[in-house]
Amino acid sequence: MRRLHDKSCRRCPRLAGFLDEIRLRNPQYHCAPVPSFGDERARVLIVGLAPGMHGANRTGRPFTGDHAGILLYATLHRFGFASAPTSSGPDDGLSLRGARIANAVKCLPPQNKPTPSEIANCNAFLAAEIVGSADLRVIVALGAIAHAAVLRAVGLRASTHRFAHGAAHDLDGLTLLDSYHCSRYNTQTRRLTPAMFESVFERAAALAA
């Protein structure tokens, strides 16, 4: 099924205006909604928060070019989901096998903080991503906002399933696994260690198989 993606989307005036400003200063940047990336027949979907200023907003690929992608792609490679342990840009030859990456919000938000209305505006894209993935078995939510966005996308209230690192939630045929976001802050403060992150993906790989 074709996934819903509109590279010219301007549903959120604040985000659209912010991207216009960034594009003027950095004309070589992607500065548009960032599409999902990975296997069209993915059994595992990883959902992040939003593009980073000098990461996905620059490169046009989720978690590519910023600190958050370092642990993510290394972990995906370790469990056989990625062809290489690093992601530097859309032309680096990297491919994902059995996995796909998306974000709760497709556009860069100021200070990496989307508003509730912006998250709601973008939820249809995530819902289409999930519905359009016929082989999907597991969703890994990176952070509480991604967790809540996934629940909304499948028609559930956030209060029905509480976010907690390492938690697993049965979503009527899908399993939602929670992880702290692999952000620079979380990894440098050791709130999220490589071992903690890998344990989530070890479970995801087992459930997907």
What are the domain boundaries of the chain? 34-208
- CB hemisphere CA count around 136 (13 angstroms): 26
Examine the pLDDT at 121 and tell me if it is beyond 90. Answer: yes
CATH, domain 34-208, list 3.40.720.10, 3.40.190.10, 3.40.470.10, 3.30.70.2190: 3.40.470.10
Cα within 13 Å of Cα(180), Cβ side: 18
* Helices 116-131/144-153 angle, 10° precision: 60
Q: What pLDDT is stored for residue 125 in this prediction?
A: 95
Proportion of the chain above pLDDT 90, given as a percent: 94
Q: What is the pLDDT of residue 3?
A: 53
* Paired residues of 139 in beta bridges: 45, 176
| From 6-15, 29-38, 43-52, 82-91, the region with the lowest mean pLDDT | 6-15
Helical ranges in the chain per DSSP H: 13-25, 56-59, 68-78, 116-131, 144-153, 184-188, 194-208
Whether 38 has a pLDDT exceeding 80, the answer reads yes
Which pLDDT band holds residue 1 (cuts at 50, 70, 90)?
A: very low
Token pair for 194? 């490589």
- Which tens digits make up the pLDDT trace of 159-197? 899 999 999 999 989 999 999 999 999 999 999 999 999
Average pLDDT over residues 45-50: 98
The confidence score (pLDDT) of residue 192 equals 98
pLDDT tens string 92-114: 999 999 999 999 999 999 999 99
The mean predicted confidence, pLDDT, of the chain is: 95
Residues 30 and 91: their CA atoms lie apart, in Å, by 14
Instruction: Give the closest residue to 49 by CA, choosing from 62, 38, 37, 59.
Output: 62
What is d(CA 74, CA 159) in angstroms, rounded to the nearest whole number? Answer: 32
pLDDT of amino acid 2: 42
DSSP 140: E
- How far is Cα 192 from Cα 118, in angstroms, rounded to an integer? 27
pTM (predicted TM-score)? 0.95
pLDDT of residue 5: 64
